Structure 1
Amino acid sequence: MNYQDRILYAMQYFHGTLEAARQGLRAMALLWNFHPYSCKVQALEPHSMSPFEDLNGFRYHDNWLRNFLIASSCNGRGTAKPYKHKLD
């Protein structure tokens, strides 16, 4: 919550509609869940790369941005067994 409060303060809180504010906070929360941990934290826990991985116990891809895109494209549907995605 401190992170979110600092970001909201820096952008001078909300401008526009309530829906725009809701979508902005949702985007901020999604990015926060998938951001990679710092090198210091990864050195302490090498098996863990992000809050998403801590919560779910797996990751779809080693790259945090691709992991975010794959997970967000599932539309909330979990897969029984994660599989490696291939890039075209």
Structure 2
Amino acid sequence: MNRYFDDGQHLHGSHKSCRLHCRAWALLWNFTPWHPTTTRKNQGWRCPAERLNQHRYSECWLQNLLISDSMGGYRSTHPKSVTVRKTRS
């Protein structure tokens, strides 16, 4: 991963474009299928994301990517809503 970012000029431009590029690269890296030999060595899991989650949503790796990405980090905690009350002074 370091070689990809160090050797290329991918981080030029705005902060937003850099962040989106890094996110796209990470998604592809984590969901692209391994070689069949590597899959056998990893108990049948076909990519890093499947091995980490111990779950496969679909047989198609692209469907797995789309489903996982659409969940938007469901395990992350959502900010609690705060009710602000005005007090009379």
Same fold (TM over 0.5): yes
Q: Are residue 52 (structure 1) and residue 54 (structure 2) matched? A: no
Counterpart of 1:17 in structure 2 is 14
State which structure, 1 or 2, has the greater radius of gyration over its C-alpha atoms.
2
Point out where structure 2 has 5 or more consecutive residues left out of the alignment.
76-89
Q: Tell me, what secondary structure is at the counterpart of 1:58?
A: coil
1:10-46 Cα shifts (integer Å, max 9, x gaps): 4324221122112111211122111111122113235
Structure 1 runs of 4+ aligned residues shifted over 6 Å read none
The number of aligned residues is 75
Match 1:70 to one of 67, 70, 82: 67
Structure-2 residue corresponding to 1:39: 36
Q: For 2:24, give the aligned amino acid.
A: A
Q: CA RMSD in A?
A: 1.8
